[in-house]
Structure 1
């Protein structure tokens, strides 16, 4: 059997699928120094727009995996508008501003983002990428996973890994062969997607025309791009709607078709599905292989990036001997409930965007319009408070008790910090992708013995002190919180917290209890 040249036969982690989720995970594992192989049957990036929206959480994860803010073009979206033929504008979501240092909502061009992820990956020599190669089969023997790979010319080879990650999309071969059910529904309607570039001034926001006759989401994207999604009528065929003249007629209410350069047209059927489990044995599912979200809240790719942030560091800690493999069980425990909540939100939004008939459209639009006159309800919709929080009910953290002041299982907010030399940085970059014992206005080492400090460092930890503005310590890594986002908004002075590498709060306590804090946190890993 002819072998694939320069292909390692044994790696720590194999990732099947080199789309955004697979590429982001490869970057994260690369930063940790994990020997990784990425496999994809496509020769190159698909040069077509697909995913189009990212929220502040997804942008924060891309920051974590190493992408600079200007790594690819984005457009911040100031608002999302819901329009009805029966009630006019009945909903408006305010997406102006930022959360944790990132815009609340942006649109982007997916090939540009994928190219940025692949370019960033080149700095990691221990990450090998293999394109134009298909995984034919795999066997998990309990200790390793053995993959059978084949090139297009028939060249084949076996590769073994400790853990396999399926990032191979909604029709995941790996998920199917594991026998994991993909629970949920497939929508009965087909949708025509039209991506175009134009010479006119594009719209500034995202708008939904919630007409039961033909609902249409419409949005802007970088470099003069726009997207329309037209729900097809029952009597319309795929061949009919893909005709250029048919598309021209659809676009006329929004633009002069002569001003548009069509980049892509495609017919899709939307799905709302989540895998019954996100892992089995030594195999893990991420991205569309684990869940598919209807596009009505723009959370499909965002959910995949959340998977990556949660799973990446856990795999790294296990293969590098810093944690017991039992921590990997928390991936499913933490991620699956939130993914399902996002899918449920998208399904609910779908009922507003595509009402089943004119009466339902009239009732739902006017109901939302009237409810928005009530301040608490308006805040839920307009300020995105209806969006499920990415906070864990169960998982790899110490549950809150009477001693806790921070919300364990939730992310620590990101703040703009300044070191004693005057250099500014975002707190996520200061903390890095490590375990952190953070002291708020106090040296986090103050109550730890030298032995405990070494144990913390051996577990991949570090010590950081964050002070109120105007205070700086000289005997430890110390930063001032210039925005007041952390002190005193979230943490009191004299408090310490254990932060996971994904910036989830694992534990917190007064500084005088640091010894017990570190002991309990290390016990979760060992």
Structure 2
């Protein structure tokens, strides 16, 4: 039967892959009336993304997924092997950052089902499957979209904003007319997921043999994944035959002892749209950018899109900010997404040199750089990875004297209060709000009453963090048990305005508090 659709919503979300489902959960948590559609009737089960970093896990935390909501496997190291130099490079990924493992593998269908199931918690979000976007027209105050449901029936839905999270072939992007520039690798890759491999590895390895480069990794559910580069002349049909898979897996296992769960041949792409938005239409995830898989950042980049865009849509829809803040989505996200694509392309060249001479030069240089103290951290400690910090966008220009970076992320630590003896992640204390944080000081008491009222109307609240053991702290303050916030991020007597996506909007000393709040409200275009 045809599912009744609403006549009007705030946001029409097209696409319910992992990025779309995360965005729908974020919009639901922000109380935005959302219609989320997908042309498929179930999650896509073929092998796709497999890696998430600590930033992605933190965004999923923001979307409402608690630790353990879906299975992950923490990765302690990533190694590169060469037939000429042996193990010539290594990245250390053990430990945690901002309360999450630095690198995990996961099973994408489980994550997608978990995110979709959570949407039932939000009465403001309606999910409709087997439904596709036929066309849309943009008006001065919204978008009028024509949708086709499973039985062929057409319906019209009006939305204030349209978000296309509908994959690499995005119909939404095609209808915007935005260019999708980049390159397509001439090579194809066979992806094999197997279950029950004897003596499984516990890390990620890249076999950088120019004859057949092969990334290999462990994943939850007793899974292992291999990605085999196709040689010239090899076809999809040849590579997916059982006897060929047996041959490829022979160095690691006997195919008769394992279960081959999924196989697929993909051609990798590196593309980015010329703008992440046009008018009232926004693009996110693979609809906006496609990243080769060599640094495991494709899905991560899409989740960054969702975190950046959804709170801005919510603040505009709820009248807390001017619609002009939506322009900062493209300003902030596109440069960083482009830098991640460039890193993936670089890593691809390191993984798959075209011949032994190229391997000798590339892998020899890498091996040498790993031995030089100055360059070693760029690879071993992942300093080569671009920081998720904006050069320009929705934050006050300049830099304070604290370690905080305007346009960068606030660290997450563990905090506790007099009424909460158990430690909580600090993001849970900040919640879904625009936050004014006093580091070892009471910003609530110091803020002028008129500004306090304006701050609350703009969706802001005030949090006091105190350093461990600080005396005479008022009720309701939170003690930093990890020192990563006070004094790690800012000294006592400092204040900061932090956006709902945990980006620092403004900061400075307490005696400049009123100006900091005024300037922050001006950036938001908040009504007086």
- Most deviating of 295-304 and 366-375: 366-375
Q: Which residue of 2 aligns with 1:54?
A: 52
Tell me the CA shift for residue 152 of structure 1: 2.8
Summarize deviations over 1:177-204 as a string: whole Å, max 9, x none: 1111111100001111111112523210
Summarize deviations over 1:15-62 as a string: whole Å, max 9, x none: 000001111011011011110000101011123332100000000000
State whether residues 148 and 159 of structure 1, in contact with CA within 8 Å, keep that contact through their aligned partners in structure 2: yes
1:168 to 166, 169, 174: 166
State whether residues 2 and 151 of structure 2, in contact with CA within 8 Å, keep that contact through their aligned partners in structure 1: no
Matched, 1:505 2:504: yes
Tell me the CA shift for residue 383 of structure 1: 0.3
Aligned length: 524
2:63 to 59, 62, 65: 65
Matches within 5 A, 1:232-381: 232-381=230-379
State whether residues 172 and 289 of structure 1, in contact with CA within 8 Å, keep that contact through their aligned partners in structure 2: yes
- Most deviating of 355-364 and 468-477: 468-477
TM-score, structure 1 as length reference = 0.98
- Most deviating of 97-106 and 199-208: 199-208
Matches within 5 A, 1:423-434: 423-434=422-433
State whether residues 436 and 463 of structure 2, in contact with CA within 8 Å, keep that contact through their aligned partners in structure 1: yes
Q: Tell me, what secondary structure is at the counterpart of 2:44? A: coil
Tell me the CA shift for residue 505 of structure 1: 0.7
Equivalents in 2 of 1:179, 1:489: separation in Å? 46
Q: Which residue of 1 aligns with 2:416?
A: 418
CA separation of 1:402/1:166 partners in 2, compared to 1, >3 Å: closer, same or farther? closer
RMSD: 1.3
Equivalents in 2 of 1:317, 1:402: separation in Å? 26
Tell me the CA shift for residue 471 of structure 1: 2.2
Equivalents in 2 of 1:162, 1:142: separation in Å? 10
Matches within 5 A, 1:88-487: 88-401=86-399, 406-421=404-419, 422-471=421-470, 475-487=474-486
Q: Tell me, what secondary structure is at the counterpart of 1:195? A: strand
State whether residues 77 and 96 of structure 1, in contact with CA within 8 Å, keep that contact through their aligned partners in structure 2: yes
Tell me the CA shift for residue 488 of structure 1: 1.4
Equivalents in 1 of 2:7, 2:279: separation in Å? 21
Tell me the CA shift for residue 402 of structure 1: 5.8
TM-score, structure 2 as length reference = 0.97
Q: Tell me, what secondary structure is at the counterpart of 1:376? A: coil
Tell me the CA shift for residue 472 of structure 1: 5.8
State whether residues 137 and 143 of structure 2, in contact with CA within 8 Å, keep that contact through their aligned partners in structure 1: yes
State whether residues 47 and 263 of structure 2, in contact with CA within 8 Å, keep that contact through their aligned partners in structure 1: no
Any stretches of 5+ residues in structure 1 without a counterpart?
none
State whether residues 80 and 92 of structure 1, in contact with CA within 8 Å, keep that contact through their aligned partners in structure 2: yes
Q: Which residue of 1 aligns with 2:76?
A: 78
2:38 to 37, 40, 43: 40
Summarize deviations over 1:418-439 as a string: whole Å, max 9, x none: 1113231011111012111100
Q: Tell me, what secondary structure is at the counterpart of 1:445? A: helix
Equivalents in 1 of 2:404, 2:43: separation in Å? 42
Tell me the CA shift for residue 473 of structure 1: 5.4
Q: Tell me, what secondary structure is at the counterpart of 1:264? A: strand
State whether residues 436 and 498 of structure 1, in contact with CA within 8 Å, keep that contact through their aligned partners in structure 2: yes
Equivalents in 2 of 1:259, 1:56: separation in Å? 34
Q: Tell me, what secondary structure is at the counterpart of 2:233? A: coil
Q: Tell me, what secondary structure is at the counterpart of 1:113? A: helix
Tell me the CA shift for residue 159 of structure 1: 0.6
CA separation of 1:5/1:402 partners in 2, compared to 1, >3 Å: closer, same or farther? closer
State whether residues 201 and 218 of structure 2, in contact with CA within 8 Å, keep that contact through their aligned partners in structure 1: yes
Equivalents in 2 of 1:73, 1:4: separation in Å? 35
State whether residues 447 and 513 of structure 1, in contact with CA within 8 Å, keep that contact through their aligned partners in structure 2: no
Q: Tell me, what secondary structure is at the counterpart of 1:375? A: coil
Q: Which residue of 2 aligns with 1:16?
A: 14
